[in-house]
A = this chain, B = another copy of it.
Amino acid sequence: MDQPVTREWMQRTFEATKNWGRWGAEDERGALHFVTSRKRAAAAALARDGVAVSCARDLPVEASIENPSPALHHMLVAGDAADSVMPGVGATMDFIGVAFHGMATSHLDALCHVAVDGRIYNGFPVSEVRSTGARRSSVMVIADGIVSRGVLLDVPRLRGVDWLEPGERIAPDELERAETAQRVRVEEGDVLLVGTGRDARRGAQGPWDPVAVGLAGLDARCIPWLHERRIAVLGSDGVSDALPGAGIEGWPIPVHQCCLVAMGVPLLDNLALAELARACAERGRYEFLFLAAPLRVPGGTGSPLNPIAVF
């Protein structure tokens, strides 16, 4: 971590990690190309214990300081009127609504979610994301789901703490030390999940405002490392970026900017990783079959979802 992150460094790094054109001028799939059939089959072979673990938080229907726009869960027909739907049988129904790109909803960011200098991944203008939906790199590109090898790097465990404090930054060498400690190596096509202990802190101290107070995450210096390793997807119990940003003008969320826009790596934000970390620690195994299936939303910029790890 000797080299300071400057605006110039960010610009160079953005250019250096660009996968634009790598899979053709019309490509909207980005780093998901790293997930081959062979990769998926190898990932499935990891599910030898047959134990499934959810990596999502509950849909945040209650307002809280970390969640200024709560999701809507409305019962349309409850037990009191269950007989009103059809004659002779009771039925209950509900409605779900969610502005999922918040700080408390487990969600997928499609590649069209972020733009740098007016461009999304592969150089398409952000104006392609219209008020009626995205015409490029929408979540529909990921309609067949993400099925690959998942790897959890559990940073609080490496540091011997319960959680990282808001704003703390994880350096690339720390990712490598976590690999060594956990006897696992992040490889091409992996879904890399980085745990910061957010749930543990929330359990102990209650929720906090991620914008005002911050979130632990990756230092921008991890970006070249993520690129070298050719990960397909990056996820975190935070938002992968450390908040607040490092104060580099134009680069408030460098991991989002470089992953989504330069590399074409979709992100999984606000996951629940405590249970997963326990399952890994129990087994001394930090690799697993990972599955995430966004809703098929034409023109969508992402999706709420419930990723599942299978050991």
Contacts and interface: CB of A to CB of B under 8 A. Distances in A.
A18 interface: no
Contacts of A96: 96-98, 100, 295, 297, 300, 303-304
A98 B115 CA distance: 28
B78 A130 contact: yes
Contact of A115 (B57, B74, B82): B82
A15 interface: no
Contact of A59 (B37, B69, B295): B295
Given A84-B132, A304-B96, A126 B50 contact: no
A79 interface: yes
- Report how many copies the assembly holds: 4
Contact of A79 (B36, B97, B98, B128): B128
A88 interface: yes
Contacts of A129: 75, 78-79, 82, 92
A206 interface: no
A151 interface: no
A308 interface: yes
Contacts of A59: 295-298
Interface string A31-44: 00000111111111
A41 to B, nearest CB: 3
A47 interface: yes
B126 A89 contact: no
Nearest to A253: B89
A252 B306 CA distance: 33
Residue among A46, A126, A294 facing the most chain B CB atoms (10 A cut-off): A126
Interface string A160-195: 000000000000000000000000000000000000
B130 A81 contact: yes
Interface residues of A, number: 105
Contact of A293 (B39, B54, B87, B132): B54
Interface string A240-251: 000000000111
* Residue among A44, A50, A79 with most chain B CB within 10 A: A79
Most buried by B among A81, A132, A294: A132
Interface string A110-151: 001111101000000111111111100000100111010000
A54 B293 CA distance: 8
Given A72-B97, A80-B130, A88-B250, 18 more contacts: A41-B49, A42-B50, A44-B44, A44-B45, A44-B47, A47-B147, A59-B296, A63-B63, A69-B70, A78-B80, A89-B114, A89-B253, A90-B118, A90-B126, A96-B96, A97-B98, A295-B304, A295-B305
